[in-house]
Chains A and B, each alone.
Chain A
């Protein structure tokens, strides 16, 4: 594994000729906890979706570990290998409602990693432990609270042992009283595991608690890049100050 698990360069993406990402260059170091902030509609979700291969960029290259995900003449096989290295936690959890918590966690390990039932269950058990939900292994997603669902989604993603784990506003679909448990779990994981993390959030407190690097994406460009204290306390751009003022009220 290279020590720069994500290298993005010259990334462009437009929807119906409306530019969303206009030249993104970003290198993320191994084990980094990167928080990605920015005004609504700025392209944060689009960037994560390109990174997790849900969206094809118009131009630019993305490398994950030693494999190229996007770029000219990237073979389907290489793209596929790169894709495997990226996990995603969605705003709306996207748990599979027809499978139990355990079923959600072992589906991909069994089908994609080729693990046997017992091995997959054992590994899922340790991740469910980590997010504090081992006792919910046999529960159906519909019977869980939003916070619990999101924690299951995090465990499910980790069961695939991604090199890079993306979180797209993991707390913004939650009732306010359930935000804390998800923030705590992400914070603990950030301390305990070496997986590189990319966290999109609107909560400055969440970003401060988890991230060691903050970038701000506005109007399709990265306009800030630095440690949390610097970006939050002495941003380079007036645009950032206004945006931070708006989200911190």
Chain B
């Protein structure tokens, strides 16, 4: 089997479209997960058991059931609740929910790593709960967990093919479909591999910059 440039070329438009779906799901799903995990982690650290317990219970359920099951539940369940968004929206919501649970766990670890003395010093200085969170806890808890959050986004990225189960055709599924039509898998799969590689490199750049900036503060 030899590489066929003209076939590869003809695959590009459809792959490009599907690639956009993958990017969309990763960027929006990843951002929602990263943002949503933070308040979730705050609930997990609440002084009140009636807040902490349910937050922890939902976390356990989301983390310990397969993403695929959650997607099916949303896909077939939401219409029963009178809401029928597009499969892509459901897919992104499912990815966001699933990874928000992991992100919450990551943030929780970040917060627990900040010594109690930091909060106490801030309390004696008169900072309110929100000011302590914003100016003392977050700046110390988040930078160390950024690599772990980055890994979550990468994991989410690699999970996007699961969306095909609810009829969302992202990059890998499109490549399989193209391959199945023409019985040539080499070109579409190679293009997908190259595309994933470029996407990772592009995504890694701002992350390294960020880590570099944060490393200026000696600890």
Contact = CB atoms under 8 A, between A and B. Distances in A.
B124 A88 contact: yes
A90 B118 contact: no
Contacts of B218: 140, 142-143
B54 interface: no
Interface string B115-126: 101101111111
A57 B34 CA distance: 40
Interface in B127-160: 127, 131, 135-136, 139-140
B35 to A, nearest CB: 21
Contacts of A83: 124, 126
Nearest to B132: A111
B138 to A, nearest CB: 10
Chain B, interface residues (CB within 8 Å), range: 10 to 19
Given A92-B117, A107-B135, A140-B218, A112 B124 contact: no
Contacts of A86: 124
Contact of A94 (B118, B127, B139, B219): B118
B213 to A, nearest CB: 12
A143 B136 CA distance: 19
Contacts of B136: 96
Given A83-B126, A97-B140, A108-B126, A90 B131 contact: no
A92 B117 CA distance: 8
B123 to A, nearest CB: 6
Contacts of A143: 218
A53 B121 contact: no
Given A90-B117, A111-B135, A160 B219 contact: no
Interface of B: 115, 117-118, 120-127, 131, 135-136, 139-140, 217-219
17 contacts: A53-B124, A54-B120, A54-B123, A83-B124, A83-B126, A84-B126, A88-B124, A90-B117, A96-B121, A96-B136, A97-B219, A98-B217, A108-B125, A112-B125, A112-B127, A157-B125, A160-B125
Interface of A: 52-54, 83-84, 86-88, 90, 92, 94-98, 107-108, 111-112, 140, 142-143, 156-157, 160
